[in-house]
Structure 1
Amino acid sequence: MRQSSNKKREVTASLYLRLSRDDNLDGESYSIGNQKKLLTAVAKEKGYTNLLIYIDDGISGVTMNRPDYIRMIEDFENNKSSALFVKDLSRIGRNYIEVGKLTEEFLPEHDIRLVAVSDNIDTQEGENELAPIKNLFNEWYARDISKKRRISNKIKGNAGEPMGMPPYGYMKNPDGSKSWVVDEEAANVVRRIFDMTLEGVGTHQIADILASENVLIPTSYWISKGIGRPGSKTALSCEWKSSTIVSILSKQEYCGDVLNFKTYSKSYKNKKRYANDRENWVIFKDVHEPIIDRAVWETIQERRSRKTRKKQKADGEKNMFSGLLVCADCGSNLWYHFNQANHDIQYFNCSGYNKGNRKICNSTHYIRVDFLEKVVLGEIRRLTKLATQYESEFAKIVMGHSIKAAEQERQLKQKELNSLTARDKELDNLFEHLYEDNVCGKISDDRFAKMSVKYESEQKEVSSRIKELQTELESEKSKAVTSDMFMASVRKYTRARKLTPRMLNELIEKIEVHQSEKIDGKTVQRLTIHYNCIGAIEIPDLDKLPENNVSVHTRQGVDVHYAACAS
């Protein structure tokens, strides 16, 4: 039986075929079909009647981690074949060290004949001294191709050509160009995700809703449409994850932009992609048709960047004001509560008040939710009336505050950046003097080591903050949420009768809550509403605008009245 097995091995040859972009498709002779025809003919010519075919199509020769290559090696170890046929050594790979180990160690140890047709190599006819040199040239070729491709990609990327695959919601233009067009079926899902987020629905909840409606996840959607994408699996799934929703919400591409160089590879031998610093990205705006309004996208990014404490109501729902309210005195977030005896009484108070040894605020800044809802809805109604009844005045106020707020924020960040840059240079000088003092013997090695650690730690923090500020300032220059967009958002709610989470998310950045105080014998609560894009504005008292005379009767028998406060 063993003799029969060995006899079968002697007439069995393995044909290995590989093709990838690295080969630059050097003519039709490199196609998988032609490789197979050539190797089959040569193997049969040399007396092999049983042929095992291994094909890795579309995989770089730089990596040896290829499915059929690995399967072939396992078959060699199990004595299933006695020969390896390839068109040339570059088909085995373009990794000098790994291919050398295979040809000079593994194959001889397993008594396997190697035939590389185009390289005129046949180990049964003796060693070929040029084989190691050919392997080296093959790796150099891969390196050269990689270098040329990097240069080409850099030119294309800097010219605005999309360098990656279109995200879920877009597809490649059928006309063959490099542009993207909206895939309406997927785009509708993207729009729903953004709409639900504006309405205050969390990412886990959105994932559960889409899963319950049997909406295919992006990779499964591409499979169902016959679109090949990296990482795609054969099984279809509707199991959405929160991380997928977060990824979709973060994509600026949905505004119509192209973002190139978001990732990079460290070496032509390492195909893994690494996240690039945002300062190295190249962004082109309004290149393709947007799926999401830029104002909506910017609003959601700003809201998601906040760290909030989302305490739930007694019935399990989250309050729509959570994350929007801040203390006017200490800047802490206000936390949501409800009365244990009467759950209908819901309120917020300052998280910095009465924290034991960490008390940072002297007042509760207590405010009722029902009072908040009436006040904010009243202010939005006044704002929408101003927009419709006094269009020119509204435009002047909005544009003026937008420019002023942006400039104030830019100046503060620039001032901090200048200060940190100066400190960074100062630390460099301190390091230099410290080193000189140590060399001259003015300070001991132990003292030098301690001070070095201190300065290095500080400089690391300074450098990190400098990078953050530079990125933020650069982002401010190109920030596209304009006063026109805010005015369009305001006009959408002209007939609003009820306050909704979406309305708050689209219009309001934050609300500063002041401690209630006695004014002329009345208890007054002042609020400063900061609107998205423009900050806090004071709505003028004009004839056609409704007044916002809100008051609430508390359980202590005190009437609290609202007073607007613009900063």
Structure 2
Amino acid sequence: MSTYERLVNSQNFFSPYLTQEDLSRLGRNYIEVGRLTEEFFPDHEIRLVAVSDNIDTAEGENELAPIRNLFNEWYARDISKKRRISNKIKGNSGEPMGLPPYGYIKDPNNPKHWVIDEEAAQVVRRIFDMTLEGFGTEQIATQFEKEGILTPQAYWIQKGIGRPGKTKTRPATKWNGSTITHLLYQQEYCGDILNFKTYSKSYKNKKRIHNAPENWVVFQNIHEPIIERAVFEQVQQKRGKMRKRRTSNGEHNMFSGLLVCADCGCNLHFHFNQGNPEIKYFNCSNYKGNRGTCQSTHYIRVDFLEEVVLGEIRRLTKFASLYEDDFLKAVIGHSQQADEADRKLKEKELKALLARDEELDGLFERIYEDNVSGKISDERFSRMSRRYEDEQKELTEKIKQLRSEIEKQSSRTMTTDMFISLVRKYTRAKKLTPRMLNELVEKIEVFNAEKVNGVWEQRLRIHYNCVGTIEIPSALPLPTPDVSVNTRKGVVVNYAPCDVAI
């Protein structure tokens, strides 16, 4: 429904005269404009005057009006096609296609480059830090609201920064968990440019549709990062895990979401002893006593967990500092050098394909202009454009596949390097913190306690972020942590390393 039509139907406005410079001002949709001029205006006795087109409905029907409407729509389609080609060239060259996210502003000297807005960037860094410390999105939003921190929309309004879209009427400091989540997923904070994240199906439909990640075009390290890439990757890994479970009184533990049953694979749930709330423990959520199918409780005390995990992390840091070559071999393996050479070859091939893709865009635009000007016939234009489109379609598939393979190889290299630097960061750790746990540990498999040679033992298998389990050679003088805990009167459980070395 057109704007004029809505005004008429609302009964708040009506004019029997509608004057336009030309018919294109009424619209460039051939069907919609035809319906207005042939049905709606006559039914409501509205006189239409298009000055430049010499049309006045009071003088009767104009036989040329439908043809003019058709040409107006063709013009819009032509402009849209050229704009799409232009955007594709710009986007593939690394020029940002969207507005800078919260934390960045356009460089006053170069609008195509982003610079850090330090005031907003401090809030972004704090969001990532609090996430690694174990805070949830709703907790962060609540804390920001208490502190009176402006939401991104309110901040832009205060600074006079124009942003598209409707402005919602809500308190300036009313943060939502969804806003925090959105900011946590912005890869642009690593210094990257991500183009073609959304698209529209047609020039007639302005709705933006989310594009599949494999269709994005990513340019790394274009502007100054707000968040280190290693930190961003850690947060994405944590965001992909299950939500942390709290007890009925609202308390949650830093191990929540990290412990899994070694037998059935279900998560372990956090509890505390009703008679003695100081005793906190986890057990299998799928235990048959709780209407599940797992045969054992896999009960494990929190204090026991803290000592074991801290001991294993200390053991790992000693392994890294005293036996660096063995540590690198255990973490990286022998294939990294071959992977790196293969990745460079693929990057070279990708660069050549992108250059050809851009060349085809230019060729297509030139033959289109030659066809419009009459230099080449419609038949030849159709044949050449079909050949170019077929080649470009094949190139697009190859580019997508190569980008996916390069991204996987780069991710493997980056994540192992990231883990090595994190291990060295905690060389002198004296206490296990939520941030240390979240940065280093992906999950912990908990085995049910068993009696071995008259002694109760409980095994754990720690999976570290990015690299999985790490085997520390038994020949090295790096003993496993000696940890034991009294689970109940007269019963002591000792920690035993898993068969697959931690």
TM bracket, shorter-chain basis: 0.7 to 0.9
Shift of residue 70, structure 1, vs aligned partner? 6.2
- 2:200 aligned with 1:200: no
- Post-superposition shift, 1:291? 1.8
* Cα distance in 2 between the residues matched to 1:225 and 1:115: 44
Equivalent of residue 205 in structure 2, options 258, 270, 281: 270
Give 1:93-112 correspondences, 5 Å limit: 93-112=27-46
Structure 1 pair 376/403, CA: closer, same or farther in 2 (3 Å)? farther
2:346 match: none
Residues 278-307 of structure 1 deviation map (CA, whole Å, 9 limit, x = unaligned): 232222222222222222222222222223
Per-residue deviation, 1:316: 2.1
Helix, strand or coil for the counterpart of 1:340?
Answer: coil
Looking at structure 2, the residues matched to 475 and 352 of structure 1 have their Cα atoms a distance apart, in angstroms, of 37
Question: Residues 283 and 300 of structure 2 are in contact (CA less than 8 Å); yes or no, is this contact kept in structure 1?
Answer: yes
Give CA-to-partner distance per residue, 1:150-178, whole Å, 9 cap, x none: 22222222333222222222222322342
Q: Distance in 2 between matches of 1:324 and 1:356?
A: 21
Which stretch shows the higher mean deviation, 531-540 or 348-357?
348-357
Match of 2:372 in 1: none
The one of 192, 208, 228 aligned to 1:257: 192
Q: What is residue 418 of structure 1 aligned with on the other side?
A: none
CA displacement 1:57-112 (0-9 Å, x = unmatched): xxxxxxx665xx5675468x556534322222111211122222333333344444
Q: 1:95-147 deviations in whole A, cap 9, x for unaligned? A: 12222233333334444433322222333455432222111111111111112
C-alpha separation in 2, matches of 1:334 and 1:260? 41
1:376 to partner: Cα distance: 0.9
Counterpart residue number, 1:246? 181
Q: Give the direction of change, closer, same or farther, for the CA distance of 1:106–1:70 in structure 2 (3 Å limit).
A: closer
Residue pair 1:223, 1:234 contacting (<8 A) in 2 also: no
Question: Which structure has the higher relative contact order (CA within 8 Å, separation 6+)?
Answer: 2
Q: Could you tell me which runs of 5 or more consecutive residues in structure 2 were left unpaired when the two chains were aligned.
A: 340-400
2:87 alignment counterpart: 153
Amino acid corresponding to residue 88 of structure 1 in structure 2:
D
Conservation of the 8 A alpha-carbon contact between 1:553 and 1:559:
yes
Q: TM-score, with normalisation over the residues of structure 2?
A: 0.78
* Length, aligned pairs only: 436
Letter paired with 2:295: N
**Which structure 2 residues correspond to residues 79-228 of structure 1 after superposition, within 5 A?**
81-228=15-162
CA distance in 1, matches of 2:335, 2:103: 32
Partner of 1:354: 288
Residue identity matched to 2:184: L
* Structure 1 CA distance for aligned equivalents of residues 134 and 402 of structure 2: 32
Cα distance change of structure 1 residues 78 and 330 upon mapping to structure 2, 3 Å threshold: closer
Shift of 1:499: 1.5
Q: Which residue of 2 aligns with 1:339?
A: 273
The letter for the 2-side match of 1:482 is: T
- Write the mapping of 1:522-541 to structure 2, written as runs, cut at 5 A: 522-540=455-473
Amino acid at match of 2:137: T
Distance 1:70 1:488, change over 3 A: farther
> Runs of 5+ in structure 1 lacking a partner?
1-63, 407-468
Q: CA deviation at 1:319?
A: 1.0
- Asked if 2 retains the 8 angstrom alpha-carbon contact of 1:327 and 1:513, the reply is yes
CA distance in 2, matches of 1:121, 1:175: 48
Query: Are 1:287 and 2:222 counterparts?
Result: yes
130-139 vs 151-160, greater mean Cα deviation: 151-160
CA offsets, 1:440-469, max 9 Å, x none?
Answer: xxxxxxxxxxxxxxxxxxxxxxxxxxxxx9
**Contact residue 458 and residue 496 of structure 2 kept, 8 A:** yes
Aligned to 1:504: 437
The superposition leaves residues 504-527 of structure 1 with CA deviations (integer Å, 9 ceiling, x where unpaired) of 111100111122223344322221
Deviation by residue 1:335-380 (Cα, 9 ceiling, x = unmatched): 2221111111111122233167751x33222211000011111222
Q: Deviations over 1:394-426 (max 9, x none)?
A: 33332229969x9xxxxxxxxxxxxxxxxxxxx
Bigger mean CA offset, 119-128 vs 83-92: 119-128
Aligned mates of 2:262, 2:408 — CA distance in 1: 25
Residue 322 of structure 1: how far off its partner (Å): 0.9
Separation in structure 2 between the aligned mates of residue 478 and residue 396 of structure 1, nearest angstrom: 18
Q: What amino acid is aligned across from residue 495 of structure 2 in structure 1?
A: Y
CA gap of 1:369–1:90, structure 2 versus 1, over 3 A, is same
CA distance in 1, matches of 2:290, 2:168: 57
Computing the radius of gyration from Cα coordinates, the structure with the larger value is 1
1:494 to partner: Cα distance: 3.0
Give the match for residue 6 of structure 1: none
**Cα distance in 2, alignment partners of residues 79 and 522 from structure 1:** 89
Q: Which amino acid aligns with 2:230?
A: A
Cα distance in 2 for partners of 1:263, 1:79 equals 37
- Contact 1:220/1:232 (<8 A) preserved: no
Decide which moves more: 495-504 or 238-247: 495-504
Change over 3 Å in CA distance of 1:554–1:470 after alignment to 2: farther
- Give the whole-Å Cα distance in 2 for the aligned partners of 1:71 and 1:293: 51
Name which of structure 1's ranges 150-159 and 131-140 shifts more when overlaid on structure 2: 150-159
Calculate the aligned-residue CA RMSD, in Å: 3.1
> Alignment partner for residue 479 of structure 1, among 408, 411, 422?
411
User: Structure 1 pair 323/357, CA: closer, same or farther in 2 (3 Å)?
Assistant: closer
Provide the rounded CA distance (Å) in 2 between the counterparts of 1:472 and 1:203: 30
For 2:285, the aligned partner's letter is: S
Displacement of 1:471: 11
Q: Are positions 1:555 and 2:492 aligned together?
A: no
Alignment-mate amino acid for residue 102 of structure 1: L
